[in-house]
Structures are given as C-alpha cells and as structure tokens.
Structure 1
Amino acid sequence: MIERRPALTVLSHLVLVLGVLIVAFPIYLTFIASTHTAQDIVQAPMPLWPGSHGLENYWAALTGTGEGGGSNAPVGRMMLVSLVCALVITVGKISISLLSAFAVVYFRFPLRGLCFWAIFVTLMLPVEVRIGPTYQVVADLGLLNSYAGLTVPLIASATATFLFRQFFLTVPDELVEASRIDGAGPMRFFIDTLVPLSATSIAALFVIQFIYGWNQYLWPLLATTSEDMYPVVIGIKRMIAGGDAAVGWNLVMATAILAMLPPALVVILMQKWFVKGLVDTEK
C-alpha cells in the first residue's frame, strides 16, 4: 500500500503549478500584447493587463487592414490555407499509410521486406535533406503557390506506415479466414475489418499529423511567394518587417494567438481518442 505524505503531495503540486506558469506566461504575454496598441507594447515596462483594443486588433489582423512595415495579408485567408494544407496532409498520410501497411502485411509479392525497409529508411531523410530536389521537381511541374505544391511533397509518412504495420501484425489470422469464408475480397476486408479496428490509432495519428501539417514552416517558405498562398505560420514571419520599418507587434501577437487556436481545439476535442490510441493495448 502506498503511503501518502502530505509534504510530498504539496511539493509535487507546487512543481506542477510552477511548470504550468512557466509554459503559460509567454502565451499570456502574447494575448496581453494583442489587446494593446503597437505604441503601448514597445513602452517599458510593457502592460501586463488586457487593453481595450483587442477586438480592433483581431479584426484588423483577420481582414488585413492593419498598419505595419511587413505583410498585411488577411490572416483569415492564411488560416484557410493552413487548414486546407493540414487536413490534406493528415488525410493523405493516414490513407497512404493504411494502404501501404495493408499491402506489406497481407500480400505476398517479391521483395516485400525490401519494399517495407525502403519505406522505413526514409525516416532518415527528412524534408531538410531532400528539399533541393523536391523544390526543383515542384517548380518544374508548375506547382509553386498552389495547394498541391504545399501538400503533395509532405503527404507520405514512414512513421504512420510502420505503426499501422505493427498493428496489423497483431490482428488474429482467424479474422482473415472468416472474411474469406464470408466471400469478402481484400478491399472489403480492409474497409470493413481493419479500418474500424484501427480507429483509435487513426485518431491518435490524426492529431499528430494535423499539428505537423499546421506548423509547417520551411517547405511553405520556399514553395510560396504569393500572399494569397501564405500559411499562417509564414504569415507571422512576413508581418515582421526588417530594418528600421515599424512592426505592428499588436497584430503579430493577435495572429500568433489565432494560429494557436485550431491545433489547440483539435487536441482538446480529440484528447480522449488521442490518449486511447497511444496506450490502448486491447485492440
């Protein structure tokens, strides 16, 4: 039986509260800055309480009507681009990974093991390593400043393929035999049996891949030159002007808060499925 010690309980809670404060304080400052004017923010000391310009700043950021030396592209359009890219990357990664893992596990063909390990080895080749050739191919195909150019090079996932393969290997052979007896073909078995069994894993990967797609920075930085196709992460960078130009830090901070909302909502709404997909062993 575990002995309860009040002193350790208090100490553990103090450590947790301190950790939360350390993580949350920059977010709090960002929110506070988004409710003041740019002149108030650059004053020393910066205000630590909400101002009266919050709605005005958020509306100016969403519509692109603010002032500043950097880009004034509408943040609403940027968030739409980020949302479309994140969803396409997420759905594409999960779909391709499901099908590739299904083929590797349930089909017998020459060099099957080599094909799987060729997919797995791509984990050692991140986007940064192959970004030059990838950019050349995308440019030659005329896909710059397009949704296809932003998503197709990022749509495959060796990690998800590996996870689905490991799960499919745990599916009892009796299910395969039962499906054959019932007259189900390979795709019917895949759709009616494997996909429902993989629901929690799919949910967990959806959260991870959505955040991955939403937070992409390096590839969109190269693949977009038009303000109409800026994802919100790139938009924040473009809003910060260089040199002596004035920066509308209130609008930058408002954009940063808006950029944090969709990933946070996805994590909050799918937290139960996310945790279950990572720890559930009775699948």
Structure 2
Amino acid sequence: MGGIRQYARRWITDRREDGSPTQPRDTVDRIGTDGVAVHAQLWVLTLLIVFPIFVALTVSTKQQGIVTSLPDLIPGTHAVDNYREALVGYGFARFMWNSFVMAVIVVVGKLVVSVLAATAIVYYRVPYKDLVFVFVLFTLLLPVPVRFVPLFQLVNDLGWGNSLLAITVPYLASATTVFILRQHFLSIPASIVETAKLDGVGPLRFVWSVLIPMSRGVLVGVSIIMFVYAWNQYLWPLVIIDSEANQVAQVGLQLLQGDVQGGQLSWSLVMAGSVLTLLPPLALMIYFRDPLLKTFTIQQK
C-alpha cells in the first residue's frame, strides 16, 4: 500500500497547472542523456563511413595521390585533369555506360519476372506453389562462384560469350526480390483482391491495374536495390567478357590500377574512377531514400 500511495502522490505532484501529466524529472534527464549518447554514436558511425569517401575525393584531386600524413588530405588542384583523363583517356565513360545499360536491363527484367512470380505464388492456385517458393528461397544458399562453371559453359554454348546477353540474362531471376514482393502482396487487404475477382479482372489486368499502383513505393525501393547490385557486379563480367570495350565500371577500375606511371601506381586516377563509380548508385539511393527504407521494413508488416 505504501508503494501505491507513493506512486499516486508522485503522479499528483507531476501534473502541470492545466491538469495534464508531465514526466518525472529523472525520466526526462535519462531520456536527454540517452539521446545525447545515441546522437554521439550516430555521428561517430557517420564519420567512419564518410571518412574513406572524403579521402578518395581528396586523393582524386592530387597529381599522384600519395597520402602519408594529415596535411596530405588537403584537396589538390588536379581534379579536372584527373577526371578528364579517367573518363576520356582511359575510356572510363564507356565502362560506366556499359554498367548503366546492364543495370537498367537487369532491373526491368527482374521486376517483370519477380512481379509475375510473386503474384502467382500469392493469389493463384498453382500446384505445389509452397514447395516452389521454398525451392526459390533455397537458391539463396548457393554461393555465386559455385554456379560459375556450369553458367560459363551454358552461356558459351548459346553463343552469348562477350556480349550484353551474357551479363544480363543470368541476373533476371531474383529470389530476394520474389520474397520481398510476396511479403508486400500478403499485406494488401483481401477485400481488394476479392472485389477484383468479382469484377472479372484478368491476371495481367489485375497486376497492372491493382498490384502495381498499390506497390509503387516498394517497387521503386526494390529497383534501387537491384540497380546497385547490378552496378557493382565484378567477378562474372570479368570472367565472361573478353573485350575491353564491353567491360563494366567495376572491372574498369582494375584496368586503372594496372596503369603504372614512373614505377608508381597513379592513385589519383584510381580514386577518380572510384568516385565516378560511386556517384550513380549514391544519387539514386539519396533521391529514393523513402521507398528504399519502406522496402527494408516491409517484412515487419
């Protein structure tokens, strides 16, 4: 009883003049202290993430890009020359264009395949569809290098070696995208689906007129994830593409690292290429950050 009375007395005391409750001072102080600690941690993590990018930007503005002390982190005056040399002299603009075309084709193809697959799994009576979905998820357990030898043989047998088809078609199926879209489709109210069926809406029209408009945010977020994934591909294009003119940006960075001037690696050109490679996915992730965050939290619905 004494504890209850003490709590009641404290509740009565901690009231504003208008009668609304207020938080105890120790609770407010604790929240304020925790808030400062959380913000400090966020700032530390942000600096740890941003610092390598800052170093890359700084090195890309110097003549040789050699950094041995803190004063060397002062930006140089050769930024324009370095970026022009990377883009024009070493053909890095061509590599970036190849990566962009590859990423766009992969994103569009994955969206079509994944939307149709998730729609069939969620809304239609497909024989053994649960077993099929488990098999789709099982493919996530297979490391990519395990598939390289049979995939390499298959692509060459089809005559797709050293072509755009070789670096796009193998990526058109995505178990992760199917899983994310399935989770989102399950969160759509069943009444909408039943109404569409009663109105006699066909499968393709149901996808185009109902699912896509209601899933626009998630589809944008998934597209950004797929774009970044395709843009960062390195090992498979390195294996299957022989011509330098058809290579992608990530492999192009290795070509920049292979250039040695005066017995030293030109880190300024390498960092210029790294910054150029970083810009497209970074710009997309910043511009579409809201649907991207929505996609990452879709599993909580």
| TM-score (structure 2 length as normaliser) | 0.83
CA shift, 1:142, in A, is: 2.1
CA–CA separation in structure 2 for the residues paired with 1:242 and 1:58: 15
Q: Could you give the per-residue CA deviations for residues 96-153 of structure 1, whole angstroms, max 9, x where no partner exists?
A: 1110111122222333222222222111123222111011111222222221111111
Q: Is the 8 A contact 1:123 1:158 kept in 2?
A: yes
User: 1:69: which partner in 2?
Assistant: none
1:42 is the counterpart of 2:66: yes
Q: Aligned to 1:236, which of 221, 245, 253? A: 253
Q: Is the 8 A contact 2:85 2:269 kept in 1?
A: yes
User: 2:39: which partner in 1?
Assistant: 13
CA shift, 1:268, in A, is: 0.5
1:258 is the counterpart of 2:276: yes
Q: Is the 8 A contact 2:96 2:248 kept in 1?
A: yes
CA–CA separation in structure 1 for the residues paired with 2:242 and 2:206: 45
Gaps of 5+ in 2: 1-22
Paired residues for 1:62-73 under 5 Å = 62-63=87-88, 65=89, 72=90
Paired residues for 1:96-245 under 5 Å = 96-241=113-258
Change (3 A) 1:133 1:281: closer
Q: Could you give the per-residue CA deviations for residues 218-267 of structure 1, whole angstroms, max 9, x where no partner exists?
A: 11111112111111111111221289954221111100000110011010
Q: Is the 8 A contact 1:211 1:263 kept in 2?
A: yes
User: 2:107: which partner in 1?
Assistant: 90
Q: Is the 8 A contact 1:87 1:210 kept in 2?
A: yes
Q: Could you give the per-residue CA deviations for residues 129-188 of structure 1, whole angstroms, max 9, x where no partner exists?
A: 211101111122222222111111112111111222232233333323322332321211
Q: Sequence identity of aligned pairs in percent?
A: 37
Larger radius of gyration: 2
Change (3 A) 1:115 1:251: same
Letter in 2 for 1:54: A
| TM-score (structure 1 length as normaliser) | 0.88
Q: Is the 8 A contact 1:201 1:278 kept in 2?
A: no
CA shift, 1:37, in A, is: 0.9
Equivalent pairs counted in the alignment come to: 273
User: 1:68: which partner in 2?
Assistant: none
CA shift, 1:8, in A, is: 4.3
Letter in 1 for 2:158: L
CA–CA separation in structure 2 for the residues paired with 1:12 and 1:171: 35
1:54 is the counterpart of 2:79: yes
Q: Is the 8 A contact 1:145 1:229 kept in 2?
A: yes
Change (3 A) 1:241 1:90: same
CA shift, 1:19, in A, is: 2.1
CA–CA separation in structure 1 for the residues paired with 2:250 and 2:197: 49
Q: Is the 8 A contact 1:34 1:250 kept in 2?
A: yes
User: What is the CA RMSD across the aligned residues, in angstroms?
Assistant: 2.4
Q: Which moved more, 1:115-124 or 1:79-88?
A: 115-124
Q: Could you give the per-residue CA deviations for residues 64-123 of structure 1, whole angstroms, max 9, x where no partner exists?
A: x2xxxxxx3x11111111111112222222221110111122222333222222222111
CA shift, 1:47, in A, is: 1.7
Q: Is the 8 A contact 1:89 1:210 kept in 2?
A: yes
